[in-house]
Amino acid sequence: MKNSFTKILSVLMALILVFGIFDNVYADPDPEGDGESTSEETTFSLETTASAADDQIVVSTDDAKTAFLNETNPEAPEINGKSFVLFDAQSQIYLYGQDINTALEPASTTKLMTVLLAFENCDMSDTVTITPMMFAGIPDDYVRLGMTEGEEFTVEALVNAAILKSCNDATLALAIHIGGSEADFCTLMNDRAKELGCTNTNFTSSYGLSDPERPNLTTVSDMCKILEACLAYPEFSEIATSTQYEIPETNKYNDKRTVLNANRFISTQMYAYEYYIGGKTGFTEAAGNTIVAAANKNGRILVAAIFGAEDSEIRYSDIIQLFEYGYNKFTTVAIDEADYTTLKDNTEVQINQLLVDTDLKIVDYTINLNPYHTTLTSRALGGYTAVIELSGVVINPNITSQSFDIPLYRRYSDNYTYEVGTIHLLIESKERLSEITPEKSSSKFWGKLKKLIITVLGVSVLAVILIAAIFIFRRRNIKRKDRNFRNKSKML
């Protein structure tokens, strides 16, 4: 009896020990650990045979925005003005310019920002009731529509008067209608300019008033961004390219008023330009002659601006020269992901081969390309090679999470290499993935709970078996003693 009971206890303890060991195999790592191994550090580097060559002139995506401004091109036109710029709206690249970030007075090109805010904050059918504040203070030699206190105009009529004839009172009326006062409206103008990426703009007038004590300043590059924002509204181009607009009778004026387009791109044959889609001119003694304009040729939009031109007509011919230079000497194309598919796939294979004997795996491998790329037409004609730069990808197998942005390039035959996008690579350990993935974490929790339940049930069953065994052996022992007692009685 004693030997049997000892055997049962031994079996029970052995089973409990087995359950305990089984559970410890799945124990969590130290939650306070930093995820890095203390073993000797080793790293994996990718082969860089396809990387950009050392003798290339490498231009990053950010540098490409102004890189052409630093290239000398003997065929570039001579432009009359204190500052000027030619801008490709698709690729957001400055193609040609001078002092593009110098803050100067823009004169009436300022009205573009007022018109933009009118498009963004008003319905064209809204009614504006004229107050003295909307025409008082405008210098006598500034262009006016001629408005009377209490007269009512639609926003559409005022916008047309501002764009076509550069009416200063119509522009000021829009500003006060939207902002409550011109000063408050100028705050709106400057806030919106910052949102558009204008970094050297400070408007103090809604229509371009020249005031030495409170200079109204912006740059040709900033003005291109403002015109680009206006072009997002189809109504703007419709108005800017129309020959005239007829303002109907008002509550104070019984006759119709015809507003003619004063822009020479539209009003003359000499400066007519078939690709013109909108813009604005300006003039004050302090600012000189200013102009900003946009053109669309076969879907490719260019924007140009000139500040401080010496003559009112030369600014038109110079703007046309800028447009023709941009369309003839530069090429803008959409980036085709297919050009980089092979490089992308081969690099992924190489990375996976490096990770075979590690606890790491790729969890994100995404290509991000610039929408458009601009280069010199002569450079593009020589063809290009798709290139991936791998020298910066050094994988440490002891780090649980590491990411890389792998540059992608177009390499031209004249030693220029342009960044056109990146591949985002994220590598993490498989253990980390199971910890940070909610679904897997949940599964792990329930797995632990399941093991705990099984362990408890197992111990409970063994306890029941033990109690039953003790009960059975005890009964047998009683029966054996009783039988022995009866046998002894018979012998007596």
Instruction: Please say if the pLDDT value at position 463 is more than 80.
Output: no
Distance CA 168, CA 161 (A): 9
| CA-wise closest residue to 238 among 156, 304, 173, 128 | 156
Predicted confidence band at 357 (pLDDT cuts at 50, 70, 90)? confident
Question: How much is the pLDDT for 453?
Answer: 73
Query: What residues pair up with 366 in beta bridges, in sequence order?
Result: 424
Position 40 scores a pLDDT of 43
Task: Check residue 333 and give its pLDDT.
Answer: 95
CA dihedral over 150, 153, 159, 163, signed as positive or negative = negative
**What are the pLDDT digits (tens) for 118-160?**
999 999 999 999 999 999 999 999 999 999 999 999 999 999 9
Distance CA 259, CA 246 (A): 6
Residue 466 confidence (pLDDT): 67
Query: 430 falls in which pLDDT band (50, 70, 90)?
Result: confident
pLDDT of residue 200: 97
Which amino acid is located at 407 in the chain? P
> What is the pLDDT, as a whole number, of residue 444?
52
CATH number of 81-310: 3.40.710.10
Mean pLDDT of the chain: 86
**Right CATH for 44-65+336-436 from 2.40.170, 3.30.460, 3.90.550, 3.10.129:** 3.10.129
If you average pLDDT over residues 37-60, what whole number do you get? Answer: 61
Quick one: pLDDT band at residue 457, thresholds 50, 70, 90?
confident
- Average pLDDT estimate for 411-439: 82
% of the chain at pLDDT higher than 90: 72
First vs last C-alpha separation in the chain: 28
pLDDT number for residue 39: 35
CATH topology match: 44-65+336-436 vs 81-310: no
**Whether the predicted model's global pTM rises above the 0.95 cut:** no
172 and 135 Cβ atoms separated by less than 8 Å? yes
Confidence tier at 238 by pLDDT (50, 70, 90): very high
Average pLDDT over residues 257-264: 97
- What is residue 454's predicted lDDT score, i.e. its pLDDT? 73
The domain locations on the chain are: 2-27+441-491, 44-65+336-436, 81-310
pLDDT at 266 > cutoff 90? yes
